[in-house]
Amino acid sequence: MKTVIDAEKENRQIVNMYRKLMRSVRPMMKGDDSKQIRLAFNTAVEAHKEMRRKSGEPYIYHPIAVAQICVDEIGLGPTAVIAALLHDVVEDTDMEVKDIEKLFGVKVARIIDGLTKISGVFQQGSSQQAENFRKMLLTLSEDIRVILIKIADRLHNMRTLDSMPRNSQLKISSETIYLYAPLAHRLGLYAIKTELEDLYLKYTEPDVFRDIANKIKQTKASRNKFIREFLEPIDEALNQTGFNYTIKGRPKSIYSIWNKIKKQKIAFEEIYDLFAIRIILDTPFEEEKAACWKVYSIVTDFYKPNPDRLRDWVSTPKSNGYESLHVTVMSRTGQWVEVQIRTERMDQIAEKGVAAHWKYKDSHKDQSFNRETGIESWLAKVREMLENQDGSAIEFVNDFRNNLFAEEVYVFTPKGDLRIFPSGATALDFAFDIHSKIGANCIGAKVNNKLVPISHKLRNGDQIEILTSAKQKPNEDWLKIVVTSKAVSKIKDSLREQKKLVAIDGKEIVERKLKQLKLEMTEEIMSGLRAYFDCRTNLDFFYLVGRGGIDPSQIKKYREEKKRRELAGPLVIHDAKSFEKEIKKVRGVDSDQLLIGENMDKIDYTLAKCCNPIPGDDVFGFVTVNEGIKIHRTSCPNAVELMSNYGYRIIKAKWTSQKELAFLAGLRITGTDRLGLVQDVTRVISNDLRVNMRSISIDTNETIFEGKIMLFVHDTQHLEHLISKLEKVEGVVRVDRFDS
């Protein structure tokens, strides 16, 4: 029987799908994005106009749906939408990647190339899927969107797998559970990972899937009643705290229940943690951790926690960026309940993974959020793996798959204490984790009573004993062996000490050479030499001279360059471009930024009074009309206006070490008033830390006091040390820096 096609109805559906997509992506669009998406849509409609899916639907439904998933469920923007709309065009038409590049640019073309399958004949024993997967992964080092669009493509294919023949269902489902679900998990796409796993079970074990789904449905009413009663006291207590929050009760995924039944060999009725309750807080980033622990405290006030089931991924996020506090508590009916406590931001990252992480990272420029996360270090490892890969595609895919699961390694000390390390950690990482001296003297290890070198990679369950020698000391090669930040910093510290000894010789050589040239070793001369030889610090410069990296005779060239500059006359700076042009003449290195603290008569700059920047602050320079360059903190109240209205006058600036100078900073102190408090505060500032105060004012309101102090500090480190000392004064509750 021939199917009657209602072309008008289908066209209406295509237009509706397109409009929905545009509504979703509109907040992220800028420039000619709308025009480009429209062009991509028209190109895709034309390319697939004669094509239909196995379900009988027009093929164009698929690319539009993939683009919709990219926006709604992964959080990607216009470039990904364009690439998703076009992802099958090269494969299904005469259009080539170079044609895509002409119309949509290099970025989109590169993504499409990564998504286009390899055609041709494959050798016996090789796998087309593995070859395609390897090809797609090769673009990971350039653009992670290739993988994210591929996951969206796979999710839509799995959602519409009903119309496929059974053999195709099994093939596609197996690929999904083998590669795409773990990949989604590794990229922090938990919602997609869970759905892919459930769909895998739906098509590979339909009876099991239906059975578990029915049992979950049957227990829904009693489960909801139980959740309501369980949450009642928590809800009441949370309302009293004033938190903005939402609570979700959700059953475990069908796949995870099935996994438990299989692994633990138990019946559905015996699974005690069939569902989890999620408390999601709407709280500012800097208060997140405290808020999560406050809620934990409230939950455990009413229900006894299982100490073995506490998972704190708020203090130490998982290596795929996942953050949450999980506690399993005993309910009044004798059932264990898992409570997940997280914030809106954490929930977004848990649902949308890597894309949400970078969205939040971009919007939080403060250092507290801008740490390197596990997801980034994992991507760096994958890129490295891709660059060094050889052998067959199947081997490569298997290695890659193993890498997806390798997040953390659990090992033991000789006394049986558990230590957790990132995947790839070595015996040397373990040694530094025990103690920096043990790490520095490490010559090898005994792993499970077997002698191994310091480069031995740790495996789950290893018991490690470190072997040391007083004659051993760290060298540069050790930095290639370790992966933990503790080991890296301790090795660098040790190398720095060794460097200092060489630098002492270097300093003597420089002093002799400057004497010959009738120059004194002033900070101005040193600053010029550092800039001329592109050295970050005096130590780096002296070290290079000491080990022969810089020939002392080259110092004469610096003096000649300095004389030439002095004869050149005053600089004229109107904007960032003229600054960059002139600074190149002055220094020649770091040429696009101003070094604050470098004594350069030719460049006139002052510190802005609106935000009082001090060394260690993130800063920028602003070229004023009459007052030269003003240095502002990036967090200055005026920064947004200056950057958005006068972008052409913004210049890059960074601090040089200027310990002998003092900078004005303001501190606000709040706490409970008591006799002698002001005396204690001023003693810490003036006597203990020998800091000069310019002014101090304290207001008291009944038992609460607030004080404002203006004082002189060297840099942010100095200020932080002062703040931590003041916070220890009895009665002081909070110490904050403020803009004047």
Known catalytic residues? Answer: 91-92
Rounded to whole angstroms, how far apart are CA atoms 375 and 496? 30
Dist. CA 518–CA 498, nearest whole Å: 31
Three-state SS for 315?
A: coil
Q: Is the dihedral of CA 132, 134, 135, 137 positive or negative?
A: positive
* List of residues 6+ apart from 532 with CB closer than 8 A: 558, 561, 587, 588, 589
Task: Assess contact for 677 and 705: CB atoms under 8 A.
Answer: yes
Q: Report the C-alpha gap between 121 and 277 in whole angstroms.
A: 52
Q: Which residues contact 517 (CB under 8 A, 6 or more apart)?
A: 555, 556, 559
Q: Tokens 């590979």 belong to which residue?
A: 204
DSSP codes of every residue in 29-60: --TTHHHHHHHHHHHHHHHTTT-B-TTSSBTT
Note the maximum CA span of the chain: 102
Please report, for residues 376, 503, 513, 539, the alpha-carbon distance to residue 508 in angstroms, rounded to integers and kept in the order given. Answer: 43, 9, 9, 12
> Helices 78-86 and 97-104 sit at what angle, rounded to 10 degrees?
150
**In this structure, are residues 509 and 521 in contact, taking their beta carbons and an 8 Å threshold?**
no
Helices (H), 87-219: 89-92, 97-104, 106-115, 128-138, 145-159, 166-175, 181-186, 190-204, 206-218
Instruction: Decide the pairing of beta strands 693-701 and 304-305.
Output: unpaired
